[in-house]
Structure 1
Amino acid sequence: MSDPVLRLEGLRKVYNPGTPQEQEVLRGINLSLARGELTALIGPSGSGKSTLLNVIGLLDSPSAGELYLMGRPTRDLNDEARTRLRNEAIGFVFQFHHLISAFSVLDNVLMPLMIRHGKPSTADVRLAEQLLAQVGLEGYAGKRAGQLSGGQQQRVAIARALITRPPLLLADEPTGNLDTRTAEQVFELFREINREFGCAVLVVTHDPRLSANCRRSIELVDGHIVRDTGTTP
């Protein structure tokens, strides 16, 4: 059996250690995500969801424990190595899509590749156009991102997250800024992407309808995993 995409062992995160303001936010998290899993991360505000997502996304470092990404330990990586691994292995989709409104839709999708190696190749452009078609935005490549609706912009953000073909896709409240109908359409897109690309998808959401439609749901309370439905439908 191949290694999981993501594996956490005894992960802890403590802020202001050794001071009166010391706060332990993550308290020994053990977790694995396999390719093809669509998993919801739920829990009340202040439970540690955002901190956990930042640590998993290599945007923050754990205080103890280890995080393995594609079988590779990450805790002792330097900043350059962490950035390289993050860009290669992880796609991000946020509640606020962070598109560059004056740039074209196509350039926004290509941005991760442009940051990585400059001018995109013909193959890069072809892939970006293919992804736009897959998220329902065929024919929108030349439009400015600022001209699109909120739901359309979130679809562009999803295409952008997939342009590097990451094995792990992290989504932080990706439907939290959308109306109910658009949120359902965007979430269905996550399901289609999960089926087609086979990447592991971890979605932080407060919407119980969305989490109920994930094959796996993990509940975090006070820095502990209190429930994990595993991969049982």
Structure 2
Amino acid sequence: MPLTDQTAPAGSEVLRLQQVDKTFNAGTPLASQVLHDINLRLCRGELAALIGPSGSGKSTLLNLIGLLDTPSSGELYLLGQPTRNSDDATRTALRNQAIGFVFQFHHLISAFSVLENVLMPLMIHHGKPSRAERQLALELLAEVGLADLAERRPTQISGGQQQRVAIARALVTRPPLLLADEPTGNLDSRSAQGIFELFRRVNQQLGCAILVVTHDQQLASSCQRIIQLSDGHIVADGPS
């Protein structure tokens, strides 16, 4: 199958957070600690849901994991590399190498075709994609059920199909970690279930670690593991 990947064995560690805290406005009267002593490990082949009420710290935690922000204390390891004290260039390079992002809003570019949107991360990094890269993008579109829509514009396909394009785009760099932030938030229940089935298939075939932030308890239970945040603490972490 086109998504099969043997670059790292299943079960190898992708992400580790060790005693991570996050405080905003530290050292001022407005200081607010949002995350407290977060210890978390994700390995290749894991499909985990991150749940919790609004204000529990999910977005802050996801920003840390995505290297879009840094911990106030503790350490975050990505592919075994400590990141807290890394400079911006190092963090950007590691993010591009290791992480794919899928958001609630797919952020496709309407002026480009579906295929060109999937290729966009590669085009940003090194210009015109190679024949092999175009073939990979087409295989990913086939895997998400959109092989026949490669030349359509995003405005010519449904919301669920657009989210599938966004997933293919996130996978085109073959990242060992896929982060999905409320990826079904704008979809009807049938389309949402289809997206989660796609995550499971990608997880099994590519073997990347997938962390899905969701408010939908039913969809969270479709994951192998549920991590629950409350008031900035991990209060539960185990099989669904």
Classify the TM-score, shorter chain.
over 0.9
Q: CA deviation at 1:187?
A: 0.8
SS of residue in 2 equivalent to 1:33: strand
Q: Report what 1:125 is aligned to.
A: 134
Q: Report what 1:40 is aligned to.
A: 49
TM-score norm. by structure 1 comes to 0.97
Q: Write the deviation string for residues 156-182 of structure 1: whole angstroms up to 9, x where unpaired.
A: 000000000000000000001100111
Would you identify which runs of 4 or more consecutive aligned residues in structure 1 move more than 2 Å? none
- 2:123 corresponds to which of 96, 114, 118: 114
Q: Determine whether 1:52 maps to 2:66.
A: no
Map of 1:144-183 to 2, 5 A cutoff? Answer: 144-183=153-192
Q: Which runs of 5+ in 1 are unaligned?
A: none
* Paired letter, 2:110: S
What is the identity percentage for the equivalent residue pairs of Structure 1 and Structure 2? 68
* Aligned residues between the structures: 231
Contact 1:3/1:71 (CA < 8 Å) preserved in 2? Answer: no
In structure 2, C-alpha distance between the alignment counterparts of 1:7 and 1:196, rounded to whole Å: 23
RMSD: 1.1
* Paired letter, 2:139: Q
Q: Write the deviation string for residues 76-106 of structure 1: whole angstroms up to 9, x where unpaired.
A: 1110110010001000000000110121001
Q: Report what 2:200 is aligned to.
A: 191
Map of 1:1-233 to 2, 5 A cutoff? Answer: 3-229=12-238, 232=239
* Paired letter, 1:163: V
Q: CA deviation at 1:3?
A: 4.8
SS of residue in 1 equivalent to 2:13: coil
SS of residue in 2 equivalent to 1:5: strand
* Paired letter, 1:108: N
Contact 2:12/2:44 (CA < 8 Å) preserved in 1? Answer: no
* Paired letter, 1:107: E
* Paired letter, 2:42: L
Q: Which runs of 5+ in 2 are unaligned?
A: 1-8
SS of residue in 2 equivalent to 1:84: helix
